[in-house]
Structure 1
């Protein structure tokens, strides 16, 4: 808990907390405005919700890249990561706390985005909102792990650039191009999971939903565990230098 408090304190006077509150609200209001003045207004309510959630999942890597870059830049400017490495004797606790803070901020901002849209749009139930929130957050876990490692190891610029590339991949994966391969691409999980849920709940036979989620779990759980464990092992041996150094 002391390590977590320390991590939150580091972010207190930065734009990171504000970004996690303001950006979700702006996104929800902007999408609602677009849905009211464009051809989206002719769509079914659940189709509009599906598009909102899919786009939310698709832009996640960009936000993730920017946030993790800022968090890592704070550590780099504080004695070249020496504060992070000397916070506790257990490097695994230091790394896990950094990741947990990012994920808690992610959970908060996603909750704001979904809740705000539910308030202004008013067609989705609490159950739909809750399931969508869980799917977006669970789908984004591996993305945050990847970006934290990339930011620390390769630098902020690489993380931000990777975020834009991943968002492009996520947008392409929404089409038929991603139907058979999205399970293996972490940056597509959030958008495809919520899309699968919205489509599957419309069907009388939920076997499609069960099949897709089961297939994803078989693939995603091992990938996520490998990413997390590999990151911990790497961080345990890391000497505090970027590749560029």
Structure 2
């Protein structure tokens, strides 16, 4: 039933900008960075990768806000959410279908961006790209849950507004302000985890510290994500499709 629901959502999503945003945003971003680095002549491969991932992870909160807002708006326009709430055999299946589809597209988008960027960067271990993709994607799962809730309950504008706020917070957390507190800031998870992965490779003597920092962040991220998923499923089961202007 879940697979049929995902296929149905994918068919409906084809008529929206959502799939194309997952393609063109990473494509344009990766090509822009490759062009910039070719002009500047920077030979530090790990430094290039760090810079690219920092910007990519900072942009993702805004992109997630837009994507989840569009997803919620699509259901609102189809009858103030009554279609998804009344026609689906299980509300949990209907909710998970949309969330999983967005997460799969997100994973493909991150992989696509890193794959394109890697074509112009040399002397970087292949396994590093795998770890980077996993960190960038996994650190954003909570944001998809949060924004899907905000989009359904408060509307597309609220989801996009929260995305703008998240991007600003993500940028701040990449500075010294985030040291020691980023583990509790969801908008910092993906960028900081990617940074720690590269830092371990650049500074072998600091591997133990970086591993501890990452473990702390991953533990908090995992617990908060699982709790938010359970809470969002319970909420969606009881939700009656309140309009965003209520």
TM bin (shorter chain): over 0.9
Q: Is the 8 A contact 1:4 1:98 kept in 2?
A: yes
Distance 1:23 1:83 in 2: 30
Q: 2:31·2:117 contact (CA, 8 Å) conserved in 1? A: yes
Secondary structure of residue in 1 paired with 2:5: helix
Asked if the contact 1:3/1:87 (under 8 Å) is kept, the reply is no
Q: 1:123, CA displacement in angstroms?
A: 4.0
Match of 1:207?
208
CA shift digits 1:49-75 (9 cap, x unpaired): 111011111110011011111111111
Q: 1:101 to 1:47 in 2, by over 3 A?
A: same
- Contact 2:142–2:228 (CA under 8 A) maintained in structure 1: yes
Q: Which runs of 5+ in 2 are unaligned?
A: none
For structure 1, the 5+ residue unaligned runs are: none
- Runs (4 or more) in structure 1 with deviation over 3 Å come to none
Q: TM-score, normalised by structure 2?
A: 0.94
CA RMSD of aligned residues (A): 1.4
Does structure 2 retain, via aligned residues, the 8 Å contact 1:103–1:141? yes
Q: CA offset at residue 102 of structure 1?
A: 0.6
Distance 1:120 1:214 in 2: 31
Q: CA contact under 8 A between 2:91 and 2:237: conserved in structure 1?
A: yes
- For 1:10-25, list aligned pairs within 5 A: 10-25=12-27
Q: Identify if the C-alpha distance between structure 1 residues 94 and 21 changes in structure 2 by more than 3 Å, giving closer, same or farther.
A: same
| Structure 1 residue 243, shift from structure 2 partner | 4.2
TM-superposed deviation, 1:132? 0.5
Deviation of 1:87 after TM superposition, in Å, equals: 3.8
